[in-house]
């Protein structure tokens, strides 16, 4: 049985990755310092013999006994409200944490995949964004702690690949949504769903004309798994190229929640645009299609409906 270490295992994406690798017959070692992770996300895995959990901050030395075949580094605050509140921790997990895990991968002769992000493109001047685009990032702006941590993460991973011959993969993740996102995550879709379900006004930043491309979590996890097993070491975009405005996304959430049995009294209101908020965001996934034979399958409306059911249940439990 092959062993995989997944950092950020109790988080949104990390927990879904744990599920995927368990289903595929791997032994999974989950690791998380629970800064933004939630043990509820992996509670169903705890009784399993092929799953173990380590409460640990990867910014400190990482030790794992026995063989490790694969390492997936998904530990990091990923929402603006998180990395604005925890800028030092965000920088450390992207730099020191990545360095520690690359050292472990080298010692274990393991293949390592890092979770990079579309944020390496910053506020892009090209749309859609191909992997060859170098980005338009403000390194000293409020979002710089996340953007530059991820850009450094890519740089040191490529250095280990080039200098030490380490077997590495880099996935650039675009906006992803689905069950296990935090209610207070702060990103657009969790905020819209939470506000609409609670009959609060939906807050859209700016005029809502800025665009995003939302990928359902099941599709993303499938793409990451395929990339891990593909012999390609350069960055690959994984996301859904179906681009819509933030205002349109808010309107679709409002329609879905409004047509549910409980309905909603929410309306859309507008607030000032945050500093350095990207005006466009859409992945060029031609490389993923060619290299991985991957493209997203879940339609946005179907994904939104599944996500609504999750948030409705989660909020009902929290508000009781």
DSSP assignment of 104-122 equals HHHHHT-EEEEEEEGGGGB
Distance of CA 264 to the CA centre of its chain: 29
pLDDT tens profile 15-37: 999 999 999 999 999 999 999 99
pLDDT tens profile 206-233: 999 999 999 999 999 999 999 999 999 9
pLDDT cut 70: percent of the chain above it: 99
Considering the candidates 83, 121, 146, 160, report the single residue annotated as catalytic: 146
Whether residue 298 lies inside any domain: the answer is no
Question: Quick check: 288 pLDDT over 70?
Answer: yes
Which of the four pLDDT bands, split at 50, 70 and 90, describes residue 317?
confident
Distance CA 38, CA 49 (A): 21
- Sheet of strand 51-55, all strands in order from the earlier edge strand to the far edge: 51-55, 27-32, 3-7, 70-73, 111-117, 168-173, 236-238
At 275, give phi and psi (nearest 5°): -60, 135
Q: What is the CATH number of the domain that holds 41?
A: 3.40.50.720
Positive/negative CA dihedral, 58, 60, 66, 69: positive
pTM above 0.85, yes or no: yes
Type and span of the H or E element at 212 = strand 211-213
Characterize the bridge pairing of strands 70-73 and 3-7: parallel
Whether residue 283 lies inside any domain: the answer is no
User: Residue 283: helix, strand or coil by DSSP?
Assistant: strand
Which of the four pLDDT bands, split at 50, 70 and 90, describes residue 320?
low
* Average pLDDT, rounded, for the chain: 96
Whether residue 192 lies inside any domain: the answer is no
Whether residue 138 lies inside any domain: the answer is yes
Is 211:235 a contact under the CB 8 Å cutoff? no
Specify the pLDDT at position 274.
Answer: 87
In the annotation, is 83 catalytic?
no
Enclosing domain of residue 124 = 3-177+217-238
Question: Quick check: 179 pLDDT over 70?
Answer: yes
Distance CA 21, CA 44 (A): 14
Number of domains the chain is built from: 1
Taking the alpha carbons at both ends of the chain, their separation in whole angstroms is 43
Positive/negative CA dihedral, 97, 99, 105, 108: negative
Whether residue 313 lies inside any domain: the answer is no
pLDDT tens profile 228-266: 999 999 999 999 999 999 999 999 999 999 999 999 999
Closest by CA to 72, choosing from 34, 18, 119, is 18
At 23, give phi and psi (nearest 5°): -60, -30
Question: Quick check: 72 pLDDT over 90?
Answer: yes
pLDDT tens profile 167-178: 999 999 999 999
């Amino acid at each position: 049985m092959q062993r995989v270490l997944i950092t950020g295992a109790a988080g949104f994406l990390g927990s879904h990755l744990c599920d995927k690798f368990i289903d595929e017959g791997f032994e999974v070692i989950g690791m998380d310092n629970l800064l933004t992770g939630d043990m509820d996300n992996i509670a169903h895995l705890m009784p399993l013999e092929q799953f173990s959990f380590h409460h640990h901050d990867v910014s400190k030395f990482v030790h794992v006994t026995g063989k490790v075949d694969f390492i997936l580094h998904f530990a990091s605050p990923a929402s603006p409200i998180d990395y604005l509140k925890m800028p030092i921790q965000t920088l450390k997990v992207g730099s020191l944490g990545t360095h520690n895990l690359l050292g472990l991968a080298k010692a274990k002769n393991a293949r390592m995949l890092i979770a990079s992000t579309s944020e390496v493109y910053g506020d892009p001047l090209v749309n859609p964004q191909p992997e060859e685009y170098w980005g338009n990032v403000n390194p000293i702006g409020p979002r710089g702690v996340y953007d530059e941590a991820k850009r450094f993460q890519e740089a040191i991973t490529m250095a280990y690949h080039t200098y030490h011959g380490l077997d590495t993969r880099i996935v650039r993740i675009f906006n992803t949504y689905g069950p296990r996102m935090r209610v207070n995550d702060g990103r657009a879709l969790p905020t819209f769903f939470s506000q609409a379900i609670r009959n609060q006004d939906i807050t859209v930043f700016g005029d809502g004309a800025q665009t995003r491309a939302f990928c359902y979590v099941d599709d993303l996890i499938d793409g990451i798994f395929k990339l891990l097993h593909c012999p390609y070491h350069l960055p690959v975009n994984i996301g859904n190229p179906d681009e819509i405005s933030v205002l349109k996304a808010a309107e679709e959430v409002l329609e879905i929640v409004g047509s549910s049995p409980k309905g909603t009294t929410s309306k859309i209101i507008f607030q000032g645009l945050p500093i350095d908020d990207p005006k466009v965001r859409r992945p060029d996934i031609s490389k993923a299609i060619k290299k991985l034979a991957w493209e997203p399958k879940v339609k946005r409306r179907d994904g939104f409906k599944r996500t609504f059911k999750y948030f409705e249940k989660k909020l009902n439990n929290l508000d009781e």
